[in-house]
């Protein structure tokens, strides 16, 4: 899991809000660029920036400050706030921003998100901000009737790979993240989930990592020094190291699965329904890549090369569990399936009834 320290910009200043209320804006640092440099010095690799003025104005407002941060640091940047059209998307991405976040626009205009994803792929993220389980918009000043899980599934179907989820009730409170809602959204979709809101200490970081999330945003806790950013980054590296150690141990024992053949059949099953989706084959390398990425990789016997399920169609399979049979020569892979599993458009490859 990665840590993304946050800068919220209002009137060119670093501020924090309480539960998304603009009236509670409090300046928390003197200079955004120097603040970002401090994050970089603490070994952060990413930074999360929100243009609060832009969110209300429906267009980029603090873009000059954002580009100054881009010029003066080597941090990877994800930026949100006021990005409502393809011109704004291109404006940021062509000037060195690594990922843009679509929020209100994603709720109001899914076709725009689809076009952005078509052009820019994984450089598009969607922010889902929820109050009482319903998605909020317009800088959290407007409330919709869209359930946050329904919104997540809709974005997954469009092809969005990164979702940033905020429980507004937790934002700026340092009361701990909403682990229940985060666990639900992470299990509901194959997208990489970034948690936002409520992070207050290292235990929260460990708890979020244990959910298997992609990332965690920390803001107020860093500014109040309740959370030491360098310690949080180090903790994530340590936790990832433990995961890698486990994977290395698995790799050391891969030979047991390939004693009879260099290829092993893999049955793919939808975790939520138990439906068998497809049968494919794995070699050692594809099995390792599946373990490393968390998404299915297979070996094509006809093309004699590795292939990543959904690489071209977007119909990816997020791996939840891999189980070997009693003879260690067949795998059962339980997944969260995005879209149809079969190239024919059928949800499952098994649809031709014989008897």
User: Hey, which residues are catalytic here?
Assistant: 8, 129
Which residue shows structure tokens 């940021």? 92
- CA nearest neighbour of 190 among 278, 313, 331: 313
Give the β-pairing of 264-270 and 99-102. unpaired
Separation CA 61–CA 82 (nearest Å): 8
Rounded distance between C-alpha atoms, residue 127 and residue 76, angstroms? 18
How many other C-beta atoms lie within 10 A of the C-beta of residue 306?
A: 14
Between strands 46-51 and 297-300, the pairing is: unpaired
- Give a three-class secondary structure readout of 7-70: EEEECCEEEEEECCEEEEEEEEECCHHHHHHHHHHCCCCEEEEEEHHHHHHCCCCCHHHHHHHH
List the one residue out of 120, 115, 125, 109 whose CA is nearest residue 50: 125
Residue 3 parent element (H or E): strand 2-10
What is the distance between the alpha carbons of residues 340 and 37, in angstroms, rounded to a whole number?
44
- Number of alpha carbons in the 13 Å side-chain half-sphere of residue 140: 22
Distance CA 90, CA 116 (A): 9
Radius of gyration of the chain (CA): 21
For 72-131, give the DSSP string.
Answer: H---EEEEESS--SHHHHHHHHTTT-SEEEE-HHHHH-HHHHHHHHHHHGGGEEEEEEEE
Annotate 190-204 with b (16+ C-beta within 10 A) or e (fewer).
bbbbbbbbbbbbbeb
């Amino acid at each position: 899991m990665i840590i993304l320290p946050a800068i919220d910009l209002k009137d060119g200043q670093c501020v924090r809000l309480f539960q998304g209320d603009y009236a509670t804006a409090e300046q928390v640092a003197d200079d955004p660029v120097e603040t970002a440099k401090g994050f970089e010095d603490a070994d952060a690799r990413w930074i999360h920036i929100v243009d609060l003025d832009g969110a209300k104005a429906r267009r980029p407002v603090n873009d000059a400050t954002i580009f100054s941060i881009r010029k003066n640091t080597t941090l990877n940047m994800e930026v949100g706030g006021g990005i409502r059209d393809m011109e704004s998307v291109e404006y940021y991405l062509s000037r060195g921003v690594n990922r843009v976040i679509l929020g209100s626009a994603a709720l109001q205009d899914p076709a725009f998100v689809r076009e952005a994803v078509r052009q820019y792929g994984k450089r598009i993220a969607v922010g889902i901000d929820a109050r009482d389980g319903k998605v909020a918009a317009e800088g959290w000043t407007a409330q919709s009737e869209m359930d946050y899980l329904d919104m997540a599934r809709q974005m997954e179907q469009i092809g969005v790979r990164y979702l940033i989820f905020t429980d507004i009730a937790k934002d700026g409170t340092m009361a701990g993240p909403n682990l229940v809602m985060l666990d639900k959204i992470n299990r509901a979709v194959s997208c990489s989930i970034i948690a936002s809101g409520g992070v207050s200490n290292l235990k929260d970081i460990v708890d979020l990592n244990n959910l298997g999330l992609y990332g965690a945003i920390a803001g107020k806790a860093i500014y109040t020094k309740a959370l030491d950013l360098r310690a949080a980054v180090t903790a994530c590296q340590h936790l990832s190291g433990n995961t890698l150690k486990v994977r290395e141990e698995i790799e050391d024992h891969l030979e047991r699965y390939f004693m009879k053949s260099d290829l092993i059949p893999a049955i793919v099953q939808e975790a939520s329904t138990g439906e068998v989706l497809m049968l494919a084959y794995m070699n050692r390398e594809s099995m390792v890549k599946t373990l490393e990425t968390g998404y299915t990789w297979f070996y094509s016997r006809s093309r004699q090369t590795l292939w990543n399920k959904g690489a071209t169609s977007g119909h990816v399979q997020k791996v939840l569990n891999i189980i070997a049979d009693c003879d260690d020569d067949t795998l059962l892979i339980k997944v969260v399936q995005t879209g149809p599993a079969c190239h024919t458009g059928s949800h499952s490859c098994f649809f031709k009834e014989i008897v």
